[in-house]
Structure 1
């Protein structure tokens, strides 16, 4: 591969913000051999009426999001979505045998605010590629797209770094497919997908700040995906696991998201929830709904060393959404978390658990004067639980967290392995 950088302005692109640069960009991509790097210098490039079908081995770089701007619009094709670049299974035959390989997209802005559509269209993304190998996506600012901003699926040996996605999914009602800041479909490469998403910021997007979603219910949920040091704010959901295995979420902040800060559920298109993931060292704060919401999973999730605070619902809630697979969740772990000042219960169990571990959590000051709460509330069958070394208190006068452990009429606690709390009903 030649790894040769060419200047797009020398190959037909104008960059005046008025001339349609899409035909010239498509011609340039089609003519580039593998290893070519297209550099778009600081300018505003108008991309009108068609997305650019990408090719393997061809990269696109700019001079930075504040300098190199791609403005998407469809004045001549008002029903047509216009992603900057795409390569998909349905439109182009993307597959493990026909991937996009060895590409970099870096250092530019995608503005989708000028796209008009009669209805939501899942293809109206900023970037929308499937089956990518050795891809690097970094230092991008993507905003105001009708559908997902960064909506790429099946990313093998890829990195997604320092993407800022704001007000993407603006035509999403909140329950359409996609509509996220960063939405990544998984499962197309089999049981392992090596992907790292790091240092990204997602705000005010239609559904999720960031989600991973199994794309076929018959596929094996993949391992190997990490979300590190990201920020999700004012989305419907902050970060969601809709079908991975062993997803690692570390050092992330999930703040002010409407339904939940962190979500594991069957809400995705295949109704398959994630399992055996790890949430650690995160801040889940001030979400109007629940802080951490987990359900429809066979279990194995660990939430540790995380601050779960000031949420409008429960701090942590175990529950199952209707219409998705619902089985008792085994081996759930809540270890060493700081759970405080949530409007509902500190920990609320509305879905059946087997062999859960609730260890060394600090649970204080939950509930409100008009909404008494418990530190731990069991509203479903819980069997063979380990509940120990909890510190549960409320220093307010009068306290609203009125019980350490409350078992409701619908709840059961059977065969506890070890407890250092007396149930308070």
Structure 2
């Protein structure tokens, strides 16, 4: 590019225009101290030996340009051009990569480790509007447990922005590396298309390692914003997680003085679909919000909190489509559910979400609260709507156990379940109030069941269309007050329980209003039930 052409380019960018179909939108450029763009810092690979014809190997030319570029330089990938690369690019210093062109990585993505189409190591780098593709759908060798899968963009720096890009057909899309607590990453408005993953597909019931990689967006770090992205797994493939945040408390390095490691994560307004084993996951974090996302087709969990605290999952729309025949990752024996709180999840809120189970779909439950080590505690589950097609095979609407402390389940709508509405196995000091629980025309199961529970409150719920409305068994200190039961066979069963108060309930049932409980026996009080 001669000086006159370069000046025209600078003028077009500064004025918000485009250059010869380059489709440059929102370009980030370095400015001189006087506030004007420095023309020498706008670099085009076509001026530095790259062909951009889609067949010539341009890797060496573009890598040399990145290595020699001054810090903060803008590198244009011009629209209408495809730069074929025999391997990935590495930016060791701050760079602003922009433009509507395509970087097609046609080699080097089937190596061991985690080969990347583009690696960013300069603090404050940006990538905007670029298409990064793996047209040959190259994959790492199967069976590897350490790496063995490729990613589109790998981030190893603070304050990086990736926006309005397309990441096409990599095993993983955008990954903030696990080698440090990288902070303040912004991943905004990207299209992460046809994630390949590294699992073995819907019939994979043997390999515990086969899905250990393949996230649409994965952030190991903190203070990240993931907003407005569209992420999908390629049809017929087996990917791990659509959007994944996980903290690294044992491997922090390069943490800025501002702190807040493992904290302050925002995952909002994204669309995730396709056969990811988990749609959106936040793990080992404090102060994360998962808000306003649309998630479909997950085969383990649509949205999950794992060993987190002070997190909020709210106003998400979930389509549960997984069928009973889809057993990918079954060697892990996941308790498949739309919403999951796993491990020591504490002081978290799941509110105002909607979950729709499609025809012929199947799950263990809609809401899964589970721990193999540690106790979930102080969870608020409120204002959610769980339902769907009557043919869906959802065993329980909500399942706890074997240990859950002080859960509050308030004002939800539960339907389309085959066995239990609320299965409060082993819950202690629980509150279940103001919920609507409907077994959909005679479910053979139970509306609310507390088995082996500690003290709790079951009040002001509406239970209908089940065989037994409320069951409290092998428990003590539970209050059952002010509930309305309609169109059920039996009202309340207090099998082998003591110290219960069953009062002021309205049992409109075909059979017995109360079973296995007598007023005054074992410290139980049964009074004023209609």
Paired residue total: 375
Aligned residues: CA RMSD: 3.3
Paired residue for 1:381? 452
Could you tell me which runs of 5 or more consecutive residues in structure 2 were left unpaired when the two chains were aligned: 1-28, 32-40, 215-240, 323-335, 484-490, 495-530
- 1:129-208 matches, within 5 Å, as 129-130=155-156, 132-146=157-171, 148-152=172-176, 154=181, 156-173=183-200, 176-179=211-214, 180-187=241-248, 188=252, 192-208=262-278
Report how far residue 261 of structure 1 moved. 1.6
Larger Rg: 2
Residues 6 and 246 (structure 1), Cα distance of their counterparts in 2 relative to 1, 3 Å cut: farther
Paired residue for 1:420? 482
Could you tell me which runs of 5 or more consecutive residues in structure 1 were left unpaired when the two chains were aligned: 88-98, 215-221, 267-272, 321-327, 395-400
Report how far residue 38 of structure 1 moved. 3.2
Paired residue for 1:234? 297
- 1:216-231 matches, within 5 Å, as 222-231=285-294
C-alpha distance in structure 2 between counterparts of 1:279 and 1:197, whole Å? 14
Secondary structure of 1:30's aligned partner: helix
Q: What are the superposed Cα offsets for residues 107-153 of structure 1, whole Å, 9 maximum, x if unpaired?
A: 344444621332154642223335x533333334444332x323325
- Is the Cα contact below 8 Å between 1:166 and 1:181 reproduced in 2? no
Secondary structure of 1:414's aligned partner: coil
- 1:6-45 matches, within 5 Å, as 6-43=43-80, 45=82
Compare relative contact order (CA 8 Å, sep 6+) and give the higher one, 1 or 2. 1
C-alpha distance in structure 2 between counterparts of 1:245 and 1:186, whole Å? 12
Q: Any runs of at least 4 consecutive aligned residues in structure 1 with deviations exceeding 6 A, and if so which?
A: none
Paired residue for 1:73? 106
1:353 aligned onto 2:415: no
Which of 90, 94, 105 is equivalent to 1:53? 90
Residues 413 and 233 (structure 1), Cα distance of their counterparts in 2 relative to 1, 3 Å cut: same
- Is the Cα contact below 8 Å between 1:163 and 1:199 reproduced in 2? no
C-alpha distance in structure 1 between counterparts of 2:458 and 2:148, whole Å? 45
Report how far residue 178 of structure 1 moved. 3.4
C-alpha distance in structure 2 between counterparts of 1:102 and 1:75, whole Å? 27
Secondary structure of 1:413's aligned partner: coil
Paired residue for 2:409? 334
C-alpha distance in structure 1 between counterparts of 2:430 and 2:477, whole Å? 12
C-alpha distance in structure 2 between counterparts of 1:47 and 1:181, whole Å? 27
Report how far residue 335 of structure 1 moved. 1.7
C-alpha distance in structure 2 between counterparts of 1:194 and 1:123, whole Å? 28
Residues 192 and 185 (structure 1), Cα distance of their counterparts in 2 relative to 1, 3 Å cut: closer
Q: What are the superposed Cα offsets for residues 133-174 of structure 1, whole Å, 9 maximum, x if unpaired?
A: 33333334444332x323325453333333444542532247
